Amino acid sequence: MDFNDTPEEAEFRAEANAFLSKHLKPKSEAQPRERGEEFLKRAKAWQKTKAQAGYANITWPKEIGGRGGTPMQQVVWNQEEGKFDAPTGPFQIGLGMCIPTVIAFGSDEHKKRYVQKALMGEEIWCQLFSEPSAGSDVAGLKTRAVKDGDEWVINGQKVWTSGAHYSDYGILLTRTDPTVPKHKGLTMFIVDMKQAGVEARPIHQASGGREFNEVYFTDVRIPDSDRLGEVGAGWKVALVTLMNERLAVGGSPGPDYSEIMEYARQIGILSDQAFREKLADWYVAAQGYKLTKFRTQTALSKGETPGPENSIGKILTANQLQDICNTGIELQDHYGIISDEELAPMKAIFQQSFMWAPGLRIAGGTDEILKNIIAERVLGLPQDVRVDKDIPFEKLRVG
């Protein structure tokens, strides 16, 4: 494992840092989450700025708007951008998951129409997979797509769709054949989120935010030309999206051991033995994750493809974030109920993150799903028994 930048990587890191320093402010250690139209406007402006300079999706080929750079350059850029107040959230799903799927399975017309506009921040995308009755079983979805001439008619519901209320387009996974086993009867489409019949209803969260949505499709018509992949091959297309998703949500924003240690220092509790033990556990886990990421970076620098061990990161960071936030609130005793960033310690970062931290244990695959991936694909353990694997979807028992 190599912990040092190569001369080329060091040069690119300095270049990236200089560009970021020119356009953004350094990230404060305790910064509340931004929301609303002004944040969306700032995010679009920043996306356009870095795209015009060649820093948006560095590994993409130049002919589709990328830089044609190396995976390690992308890693270095992500590390440096993470040090600044960069409003990247609205584009993480589109550029990290949806557009790569369009590039992999879309036509030349799709790539010409959608990629550049997404890269420049002109259009935002969402991912429409999860459903109320399917949970983590993506292949158990019920949203139907029925062929009608050169169009497909869509009816159904999706849920927990991040950013659907401000997205322009989405990738939509539907069931086109219920007479075959659930993984074989799926088809993926590009959907215009502003067209008639598409209704996004923001879900009011306990944290006060409205980032997630229920999305309803009522007789929505999608031309067959906006299909991604073959009819019935939607699971293959979805796997590409899901692999990108789990890597994209591998880390987690919010307070880590350094922030809670700083707060503990402020209130004079660092001498408490029980707290010191928890702090040590968080530090060791964070260092383990850091070394795992170095292993991934080393593989990338050698031109290798990292494997499913990246699932480790999301399990560790999501659970640790929840634990740290819970402890931070407990340290404030009865004052921990105050979530006003103007009144609460550390700008209420523990309270605000505590409310949405559990969602990170669901988004991009639940803890249980990711543990199965690690067990089967990293450790080589036997697969779970799947009794519904070869049964036609319409014959599966429900309720």
Q: What is the pLDDT of residues 379-395, one digit of tens each?
A: 999 988 888 888 999 99
- Tokens 């700025």 sit at which residue? 49
Tokens of 164: 């659907």
How far is Cα 306 from Cα 106, in angstroms, rounded to an integer?
25
- Provide mean pLDDT across the span 111-137: 93
Catalytic residue among 37, 245, 341, 394: 245
Domains of the chain and CATH, by start: 7-87 (no CATH), 126-237 (2.40.110.10), 249-378 (1.20.140.10)
**Identity (one letter) of the amino acid at 343?**
L
More confident residue, 150 or 239: 150
Instruction: Please check the confidence at residue 169 and state whether its pLDDT lies above 90.
Output: yes
Residue 30 pLDDT: 45
Beta strands 198-202; 186-192: pairing state: unpaired
DSSP annotation string for 94-114: IIIIIHHHHHHHS-HHHIIII
Q: Measure the CA–CA gap between 293 and 304, rounded to whole angstroms.
A: 14
Sign of the CA dihedral running 392, 395, 397, 399: positive
Across the strands, what pairs with 217? 156, 198
318-338 pLDDT per residue, tens: 899 999 999 999 999 999 999
Q: What is the mean pLDDT of the chain?
A: 89
Q: How far is residue 236's CA from residue 187's CA, in Å, rounded to a whole number? A: 9
| pLDDT tens digits for range 13-67 | 999 999 999 999 998 644 555 668 899 999 999 999 999 999 998 988 888 888 9
* Strand residues in 71-143 grouped as ranges (E): 125-128
Bridge pairing between strands 125-128 and 144-148: unpaired
Mean pLDDT along residues 90-115: 94
> Would you tell me the crossing angle of helices 311-331 and 273-301 to the nearest 10 degrees?
150
DSSP assignments along 149-173, one per residue: TTEEEEEEEEES-TTGGG-SEEEEE
Q: What are the distances in angstroms from CA 195 to CA 36, 109, 199, 301?
A: 23, 20, 9, 44
**Distances in Å between the alpha carbon of 18 and those of 5, 14, 71, 193, 344?**
17, 6, 20, 37, 34
Does the annotation mark 245 as catalytic? yes
Indicate the DSSP class of residue 365. S
Closest CA to 116 of 190, 192, 189, 62: 62
* Residue 250 banded pLDDT, cuts 50, 70, 90: very low
